[in-house]
Amino acid sequence: MRTAAWMNAFLGKLVLIEIHAQEVPATGLAPARLLLINSDDWGRFAHEAKNWDCRWVAAWGEDSGDDLIANACFEKEGAYLVARTRIPRTNPVLASHTPYYIAADRPERHIQDMLGIAFTDHPDARRWTRHRAWKESEYPLRKDFPAAGNPPAQTPPNDNYRFLFAHGAGVYEIPVGPVHAGIIEPGHFRFQAVGETILNLEERLGYVHKGIEKIAEGRDATGLARLAGRVSGDSTVAHAWAACMAMEKAAGIEIPPRAVALRAIMAERERVANHLGDIGAICNDVAFTFAYYQFGRLREAWQRLSRDVFGHRLMMDGVVPGGVAIDIGDQMIAAMRSQIASQRMELAGLYNIIDDLPSLEDRLDTTGYLSPETASAYGALGYVGRASGVAFDARKDAPYAPYDRLTFEVPVLTQGDVAARVHVRAQEILASFGLMEKLITELPPGPIRADWTTAPLGAEGLGITEGFRGEILSYVRFGENGRIARYYPRDPSWLTWPTLEKLVRDNIVPDFPVCNKSVNGSYSGHDL
């Protein structure tokens, strides 16, 4: 568990300014420390955390019966803090964190929609998650709401959402989606533009809401791991690992060293596959199809070997409670080592091409600029944040096994444009190659799975991993008979989708696709 000197001083300051906060033991939440906050001090606490330059990580709620529980997670210097408060079910009103942390905007609206907690000073009262699928008086995450819901014969049209309206000489509006011409998932984008210049973009997500949090209730550990792996299919390893990590902490289970290493190998393979696909797709969006085909070819070969080694192209269900489902032998280790060497050589040639092509430079350089200040304010993660100077990487800054014993470089740039987001991806691939070579060379012997022990009633755990998009947080609380009472996964897309609205401003409309792809937020990871 990583500690930081600032945290003790911060807790001391809370006492001085009379914010009622009590630290309580929470072994399962490590590396986080747990603070119980008086509900009247919830907003003041966020204000003070902002003054101490803490990063706002996530927020989630829970129905505990008579009371509703609100949680918020903060981070600074690799040390995490979970703040928790209780509010009466009869009057669920709480101060918002959004005035201090813009990143809290959509998560708080999600909590309001799903649990009915009203955030008094939140700047935006519009529905975010529920759309028109439930009545105003229905809150799906409350215990008395059935998982199947109470669907009407016909859901009312979602025609009352008030998008920002701009008017003036030459200003016009472009609605895009939610159904798109390609095979991507649904999301609505509303532009205001003058000529080809984008004045503003407003997003509307939530069209593929799956009820992940609700249908997690009552599952056993194995069932939750399978569900977590389907929060966002392109991050199946990272989400399943975070969920299993949370459950293992809650149950007090230590997984074998070999299983830890195999999880990391899968996670790095997942990272490489997605970065290869993204670089090719970004190039394709500016008509450089050569790169699209070449990076797609490398990704296909990479995923085929993942299938051969771990039984599935995406390595789905490879991470299980207590360890991993599949071991690897010398033949597969040799195949992975050979593929890394081969792709490293091929990528060197491809990187030289994309770095020295004037037409590509013209379309990517300075396009979709996200300033370091904006990236930091929104809590941008992964390649989006690192391309704009936000260096945080959970593998390095809040290290968990096996990364706590590995040395590697995290690429960080400050240019903040599409080209920088491509470059960060390209360098992360090479870093992942190095990590995998170390992991397979030093793969410990022994079992790949620990016996599962039923977690006691009320046990809770927090899992934090670094997915290819950035930091993933999973919270788990167990109920009776080792069944899940609460599961909340925070995909990094919750924090990077809003940055797209900022970085497209003053760009031309034809550059929106490449800006969008450079962020590559997950609809599924957001639409829980």
Tens of pLDDT, residue by residue over 112-147, are 999 999 999 999 988 898 788 788 888 999 998 888
DSSP assigned state of 68: E
In a domain, 271, yes or no: yes
Rounded Cα–Cα distance for residues 54 and 46 (Å): 9
Say if residues 229 and 324 touch (Cβ distance below 8 Å). Answer: no
Q: How confident is the model at residue 23 (pLDDT cuts 50, 70, 90)?
A: confident
Residue 128 placed within a domain: no
Q: Give the strand order in the sheet containing 197-204.
A: 171-176, 188-194, 197-204
Cα separations (Å) of 147 from 64, 210, 477?
A: 17, 11, 18
DSSP 8-state symbol, 509: G
Total number of domains in the chain: 2
CB 234 within 8 A of CB 522: yes
- Do the domain assignments include residue 524? no
Pull the structure tokens for residue 426: 């390209």
pLDDT at position 325 is 97
Give the separation between CA 238 and CA 250, rounded to whole angstroms.
Answer: 18
- 297 has pLDDT over 90: yes
CB atoms within 10 A of CB 362: 11
Query: What are the pLDDT digits (tens) for 262-289?
Result: 999 999 999 999 999 999 999 999 999 9
Q: Residue 84: which pLDDT band, with cuts at 50, 70 and 90?
A: very high
Domain boundary among 451, 472, 490: 451
Query: Does a structural domain hold residue 505?
Result: no
* 489/510 Cα distance (integer angstroms): 34
Cα(266)–Cα(278) distance, integer angstroms: 18
Mean pLDDT confidence for 367-382: 95
Q: Is 85 helix (H, G, I), strand (E, B) or coil?
A: strand
Which residue type is seen at 152?
A: P
Q: What pLDDT score does 2 carry?
A: 53
Percent of the chain with pLDDT over 70: 99
Burial 297-334 (b: 16+ CB within 10 A, else e): ebbeebbebbeebbebebbbbbbbbbbbbbebeeebbe
Q: Is residue 179 pLDDT above 90, yes or no?
A: no
Q: Binning pLDDT at 50, 70 and 90, where does residue 72 land?
A: very high
What tens digit of pLDDT does each residue of 303-349 get? 999 999 999 999 999 999 999 999 999 999 999 999 999 999 999 99
**Of 119, 154, 186, which closes a domain?**
119
- Beta strands, E only, 89-148: 93-94, 118-119
Domain span holding position 444: 254-451
The enclosing domain of 74 has a CATH number of 3.30.460.80
Written as six digits, the tokens of 230 are 């389907």
Residue at 422 is within a domain: yes
Contact 500, 202 (CB under 8 A): no
Residue 1 has pLDDT above 50, yes or no: no
Answer yes or no: is pLDDT of 395 > 80.
yes
Per-residue pLDDT averaged across 232-256, rounded? 96
Rounded Cα–Cα distance for residues 387 and 410 (Å): 11
Nearest CA to 475 among 109, 59, 22? Answer: 59
Q: Is the pLDDT of residue 437 over 80?
A: yes
Q: For residues 209 and 232, what is the distance between their CA atoms, to the nearest angstrom?
A: 12
Residue 25: inside a domain: yes
Say if 379 falls within a structural domain.
yes
Q: Return d(Cα 438, Cα 445) in angstroms, integer.
A: 15
509 is a domain residue: no
What CATH number should be reported for the domain holding residue 354?
A: 1.10.645.10
Q: Which of 451, 474, 495 is the last residue of a domain?
A: 451
pTM given for the model: 0.95
Q: Which of 204, 164, 209 is nearest to 187 (CA)?
A: 204
